[in-house]
Structure 1
Amino acid sequence: MSVSVYYSARRSEPLTGPETAAVERVVAARTASFPYDDEEDLHLYDLGGDEDGEILAGSTKLPSDPDRWLPVLTHVLDSVTELRRAVGGAEWHVHMDDVDVPWDENEGYALPGMRDAELGAELGGLD
């Protein structure tokens, strides 16, 4: 069974040129720092705007290897956090299949325990 993280942003105005450039910079930087070459990273399949007001959308399939799950999830949610901060005034929806990922103004997108170093070490995914 696979689990994916889905992310989308909606607003009445399409992305501006500077916002599109900012999104592209975030994607390039986060792709360059992704921890695994053989896993799916941030994947945007809609950028700009459509008739429903969706200005950005994408998904990432999480690895089947449990040792990689937490590092990939953390990286993807941190990436989406940066995207949200680069694109103002949008309504965001981030979820893992049927579970919404909460937003926190200080921490961004995160799940409980996601940044717990002891938990990460126990799972084998973090040093």
Structure 2
Amino acid sequence: MGVSLYYSAERGTPLTADERAAVERLASAGEDSLREEALELFPVWHASGEVPREYRSPAEVFEGLYLYADDHLSAGQVLAGSSKMPPAACGGEPLLAQLRHYLDALTLMRRALPDARWHVHAEEVEIPWTEDGYTLGDATT
């Protein structure tokens, strides 16, 4: 069974076209930064066994910041999505890299929609919000 990161934002008014574009840009930037780091680290992860050799590219290990279409949102939601974490065969370093990049992107999204109520969690574990953003403490820094 895989683990996923879930995220949603609620407010009384829908996203504007500019807000939607900003959120999509931030999601894409988070994915791009993870992909760049992973491309550099894949040889190291393969050599150490963090990523089994059968995974030849980041696309095989990491799912993007998937934002649901408007018709899949619950009442009051203006944004929601999910991302699968790396397969169980991969070690902790790829998982922490994905969490770091995606929590950074979600922090920027939250700041872009400051009047929304956000909920970010991995399965049943709530990811805390602080003035510094979403973090799992020292593990993701």
- Please report the TM-score for the alignment, with normalisation by the length of structure 1: 0.80
What displacement does 1:49 show? Answer: 9.3
The answer to whether the Cα contact below 8 Å between 1:14 and 1:49 also exists between their aligned partners in 2 is no
CA distance in 2, matches of 1:24, 1:104: 23
- Give the structure with higher Rg (CA): 2
What displacement does 1:95 show? Answer: 0.5
Equivalent residue number for residue 41 of structure 1: 64
What displacement does 1:29 show? Answer: 1.8
Structure 2 counterpart SS, 1:34: helix
Unpaired runs of 5+ residues, structure 2, are: 36-57
Q: 1:69 to 1:27 in 2, by over 3 A?
A: same
After superposing the two structures, state which structure 1 stretch, 40-49 or 84-93, moved more.
Answer: 40-49
- Is residue 94 from structure 1 mapped to residue 120 from structure 2 by the alignment? yes
1:15-94 alignment runs, 5 A limit: 15-35=15-35, 36-38=58-60, 39-47=62-70, 52-64=75-87, 65-66=90-91, 67-94=93-120
Structure of greater relative contact order (alpha carbons < 8 Å, 6+ residues apart)? 2
Q: 1:12 to 1:3 in 2, by over 3 A?
A: same
CA distance in 2, matches of 1:51, 1:114: 32
Of Structure 1 and Structure 2, the greater helix share is in 2
Q: 1:74 to 1:50 in 2, by over 3 A?
A: closer
CA distance in 1, matches of 2:23, 2:72: 13
Q: 1:64-103 CA distances to partner (integer Å, 9 max, x unpaired)?
A: 2113111011111111111111112000000011110000
Equivalent residue number for residue 119 of structure 1: none
The answer to whether the Cα contact below 8 Å between 1:10 and 1:56 also exists between their aligned partners in 2 is yes
Question: What code does the residue aligned with 1:114 have?
Answer: A
- Please report the TM-score for the alignment, with normalisation by the length of structure 2: 0.73
Q: 1:33-70 CA distances to partner (integer Å, 9 max, x unpaired)?
A: 22333211211114599571100000111112113111
CA distance in 2, matches of 1:47, 1:27: 16
Work out the percentage of aligned pairs sharing the same amino acid: 44
Please identify runs of 4+ aligned residues in structure 1 that moved more than 4 A: 47-51
CA distance in 2, matches of 1:47, 1:15: 10
- Is residue 4 from structure 1 mapped to residue 29 from structure 2 by the alignment? no
Question: What code does the residue aligned with 1:113 have?
Answer: D
